[in-house]
Amino acid sequence: MRIFIFLCFLVLTGCSEIFICCKPQKSPFKSYTRALLFEKEGKLDKALELYKEAICGGLKTSYIYSKIGKIYLKKNEFEKAEKYFKKGIRIDSECEECYLGLGVSYIFQEKYDPAIKYLEKGLKKDPSKNSYRLMLCDLYMFKKDYKNALKYYKELVQLYPKNLILRYNYAKILETLKKYSEAEKEYKKIIDCNKNSLQAYFSLASLYLKENKIYKAEDICKKMLDKFPLNPIPYIFLANLYIEGKNYDEALKIINEGIGKGMKNKEFYKSLGIIYCEKKEYDKAEKYFKEAIKKGETSQLHFYLGVVYDKMGEKEKMEREMKKAIEIDPENGFALNYLGYTYLIENRNLKKAYEMIKKACEIEPENGAFLDSLGWAYFKMGKYKLARKYLEKAAKLEKDAEIYEHLGYLYYKLKDYVRAIIWWSKSIELKKNKKIEKMIEKVKELMKNELY
């Protein structure tokens, strides 16, 4: 008897929605028609009630279930929307509206894999639904599945060849996938269609820089200067090109030209600071970084100023600026590593140094300089196995005299004199260092003595 009562309870509670909505109706079509009118007027709750009455009256079509699902989407009741779209699919497995709606309901629930699955099913049944194709582009981009994102963007570009936003996004994905020649063609098509597309010019110049086509990048920058003489972007980009090529006089010329036209923003002063730092004119570098900070304080600017103070031998000021950089942006790996490594070489705050460098490596796990610092921290702590792990990884990532020097000291400590000499020799090939040359001679003497 208890089992019978329990089963009755399950049936009644499971069907409660049906019993509530199933009021006798003369015609389910009348309920459906009235529901359409209420939905059009934005009276969603009344529309829902009437759609459900139509279903209870026998009008069980996938279309009505999709209408209910869409209303629940509008009401931000995504699980209920999911439920009705699924009911629609059970009635009609060819209902593209239900597949697409179900996909959208999963997007709002942040269930991206099933969202993709059902959006793709819906598109197969009705390829004309291009707004959903765009959703798939965004989903695949979010998942960093650039190959599938490219597939859908390519379809959209073919359907809407004059839509330059779609073409630009398509070009960016091509660039991400290192299909540089194809990306170049797309950027050029955008420029052909819109001669005033600064974004396309800038992206093309950046692409050339990535490919190390410096002269082509420079040429595009000069075209940008002609077309956009009062826009700061071309000036900054071209100046950075010259800085990379150590052509500091040209960089100064282009920055001062921009400032002369009234573009006195922090990026211009930052560029001047970098130029004078590279020229080892540290007083001027300090002046311009301070000027940039007045225009708009950033973690990066305090980091640069800290580097300048370090070069000037003003360690307290350097430490102050690095701490300020980290305070503004606790994820500034360069500031964390710089200050942490400074503590290491000064043999102070070793625990703090380790923590800062470890965090920098977590932020950028493939940064050779950071890994070198971490390896050196482990060396200082006497953890030679870990030191070797990180120093050797750093050496694979960066061709750097200091990394090689550290490996030499590590192997010297381990009494592996042959490897110590090999790494120190590599170090002085890149950068002459009398101290290391003396260490090599010292180790050679030790090896001779061991033989005799």
| pLDDT for position 53 | 92
Q: Tell me what percent of the residues of the chain surpass a pLDDT of 70.
A: 94
CATH no. for residue 91? 1.25.40.10
Answer whether residue 244 is part of any domain: no
Mean pLDDT of 125-149: 95
Q: Is the pLDDT of residue 295 over 90?
A: yes
Name the average pLDDT for the chain: 92
Mean pLDDT of 303-313: 98
Answer whether residue 246 is part of any domain: no
Nearest to 323 by CA among 344, 347, 343: 343
| pLDDT for position 55 | 92
Tell me how far CA of residue 84 lies from CA of 4, 291, 374, 415, in angstroms: 30, 61, 55, 73
Answer whether residue 431 is part of any domain: yes
- Residue-wise over 32-47: b if at least 16 C-beta within 10 A, else e? bebbeebbeeeeeeeb
Contact 373, 341 (CB under 8 A): yes
Nearest to 430 by CA among 404, 410, 412: 404
Q: Could you report the per-residue pLDDT of 413-447, keeping only the tens digit for each?
A: 999 999 999 999 999 999 999 999 999 999 999 88
Tell me how far CA of residue 452 lies from CA of 300, 412, 418, 440, 445, in angstroms: 56, 20, 17, 19, 11
Tell me how far CA of residue 134 lies from CA of 52, 92, 123, 395, in angstroms: 32, 25, 11, 43
Answer whether residue 149 is part of any domain: no
Q: Is the pLDDT of residue 450 over 80?
A: no
Of the residues 143, 168, 193, which one is the last residue of a structural domain?
Answer: 143
What is the sign, positive or negative, of the torsion defined by CA atoms of 32, 38, 44, 50?
A: negative
| pLDDT for position 7 | 30
Answer whether residue 288 is part of any domain: no
Q: Could you report the per-residue pLDDT of 8-63, keeping only the tens digit for each?
A: 323 333 333 433 344 544 588 999 999 999 999 999 999 999 999 999 999 899 99
Q: Could you report the per-residue pLDDT of 242-293, keeping only the tens digit for each?
A: 999 899 999 999 999 999 999 888 999 999 999 999 999 999 999 999 999 9
Answer whether residue 280 is part of any domain: no
Look-up: residue for tokens 């049906």? 18
Q: Could you report the per-residue pLDDT of 394-405, keeping only the tens digit for each?
A: 999 999 999 999
Of the residues 99, 122, 143, which one is the last residue of a structural domain?
Answer: 143
Query: What count of other Cβ atoms lies within 10 Å of the Cβ of residue 158?
Result: 10
Nearest to 274 by CA among 260, 258, 255, 297: 255
pLDDT band (50, 70, 90) for residue 448: confident
Answer whether residue 342 is part of any domain: no
Q: Is the pLDDT of residue 407 over 90?
A: yes
| pLDDT for position 18 | 38
Answer whether residue 350 is part of any domain: no
* Domain containing residue 410: 399-451
Residues in the chain: 452
Look at the chain and report how many structural domains it folds into: 2
Of the residues 143, 175, 194, which one is the last residue of a structural domain?
Answer: 143
Contact 132, 123 (CB under 8 A): yes
The amino acid at 256:
N
Mean pLDDT of 115-119: 96
How far, in Å, CA of 189 to CA of 182, rounded?
A: 11
Contact 176, 146 (CB under 8 A): yes
Q: Could you report the per-residue pLDDT of 336-392, keeping only the tens digit for each?
A: 999 999 999 999 999 999 999 999 999 999 999 999 999 999 999 999 999 999 999
Question: How far from each other are the two terminal CA atoms of the chain, in whole angstroms?
Answer: 100
The dihedral region occupied by 262, where left means phi > 0, alpha psi between -120 and 50, and beta the remainder, is left
